[in-house]
Structure 1
Amino acid sequence: MNSFSLADEMKLPCQKMSGLAALKTRYRPFICPLDMVLAKIPEGARLYDIGCGTGALLYLALKLRSVKVAHGYDISREAVKASEAFAIKSEIFQVRHLHPEETPPDLHGYDTVTMIDVLHHIPPKLQDDFLRKTISQMDSGARLIIKDIEASKIIGSFMNQLHDLLLAREWVHQRRSSDLVQVFQSMGATVSRPILRWTLWYPHFQIVVLVP
């Protein structure tokens, strides 16, 4: 499982998408280390993806991790519409639209929740509260997998800032993984040691949080 194989898995669905959604979905594995995320999703998990975009991670988890449930939401109506290209007509795969004030949703019943490149789009004063609310909506013993941009890598995080200004037209707010570890530990959660991975000029970190 690598960037090339993951991009190849999404070739056919992306042909049914159009414009920027197709381009971002097909080539995202070369920018975002989705293989690192997938490796931490247990086989047969009940998965929920916060900020799932077009649902690419959910689709890959169905195919490569045999998850029993692949649900998620995004605040972009365009991304949710594009998720129809994956053509999975069942209750197993569901991508829905939510307004920011409706998030996070009820996450009870899911043993694995992912949050990939979402946190840095949330205003700094709201980030910790969003994480606390997310944990409170999950079952005890469930795992939260967070992948985001490592703020301590100054040049790399600046390059990601330019990336989001260009594609999302948004000024983002990256965090240090060490800070997030402390935030979750203050909630009584067990947190894995952060893993750092570079793709191109982007510094990514991943942590796995076990809900108390």
Structure 2
Amino acid sequence: MLSFTRRVFLGLSLLALTACSDAKEITEDTPLVDLGDFALGHNVVVATDAQKAPFSRNATEEELETALKAAMQARFGRYDGDKLYHIGIKVDAYGLAAPGIPVLFTPKSVLVLTVNIWDDSKGEKLTEKPKLLTVFESLNGHTLVGSGLTRTREEQLDILTRNAALKVERWLLENGQWFGVEPIAPESSDAEEAKAALEVLAPEAVEQPTISN
């Protein structure tokens, strides 16, 4: 069976993605977006056999599942629409930038997810195929060459999972027709999401530009 990174790589060519800013913790003042009749039903996260990125700190399946499930519940448990929708997430890969890695490797903290959603009232899955999402920490003065020196493993995972929940929310907005609202324009293509994952998990497989004399 092909590894996750090989399956992502086949037939895909795209631009890298960069997060603009890290998602803040959810509070009672955090605004809701218009998700129509959405209310969160089952919140399922599975991290079985998640691939560990090169130069990453360790995280257990339970740690990945617990952190992401909590971030999803915090963001989506606030919605009180008239219909239940179930969200299922598979953590395909993760990376928590380790300290002491040469700048040459520019380690990035990342989560690579595949997401599905079900309409409870219709008893059907709305996603024809799982949606691939690649989630990073934002780039700033502290994380430009990796956050391993400035953030703990737990802080990295907390930020990544908050960013992941925010990115899932954005994806739902891009499919607003599911919830009876007007969809917004996609932020990235499936190809861009895949290459962003590949550049972290298997950078040697990504074709680099040739510099002429």
Q: Which has the larger radius of gyration?
A: 2
Q: TM-score, normalised by structure 2?
A: 0.27
Query: Higher helix share goes to which structure?
Result: 1
